[in-house]
Amino acid sequence: MDLYTDGACSGNPGPGGWAYILVSEAGTETMTRSGAFSNTTNNKMEIQAAIEALHDVPSNIPVKIISDSQLLVRTMKGEWKKHTNYKQWLELEELTKDRQVEWEWRKRNSNEYMEKVDKAAHNHAKSK
C-alpha cells in the first residue's frame, strides 16, 4: 500500500495542515484524512502527516510512505540526524518499529495523489 503524505504551513511558524491518502495496490484510494494545527511549522506538519497515517493504518499492512519532504524521508532512512521536533520523531519511530515501512521522496505534485495531499494540507493551513 502506498501512503502519500504532506504537510503545509501558512507562515513558519503559523497555522498548518497535514494530509494523507492510502492507495491500494490496485490504485484505489482506500483512506484519506487531513487536519490542522493553529500554531506550528511546516516540518512539524510533514512529520505529523506520517504519524496520523500510521496511527490509522493497521500495523500488519506493509506501507510505502511517499512524501515531498526530504527532511522526513532522509531522517527516517537514517541519512539525516534529528535536530528538533524530538517528541514527534520519537512517536514516529515507535509507530514504525514493529511494522514494514518503506520511505520514498517524490517531487511536489509529481502525480495526482501528491497534488491531492498538497491541496488538502494547504487548505487546512489556510482554514486555521
pTM (predicted TM-score): 0.94
Q: Which three cell numbers stand for residue 49?
A: 502527516
Tell me the pLDDT tens digit for each residue of 19-40. 999 998 888 888 899 999 999 9
Tell me the pLDDT tens digit for each residue of 74-124. 999 999 999 899 999 999 999 999 999 999 999 887 789 999 999 999 998
List, in order of start, the domains of the chain with CATH numbers.
2-127 (3.30.420.10)
CB-based burial of residue 89 (10 Å sphere; 0-12 exposed, 13-18 middle, 19+ buried)? middle
Query: Residue 11: left (phi > 0), alpha (psi -120 to 50), or beta?
Result: left
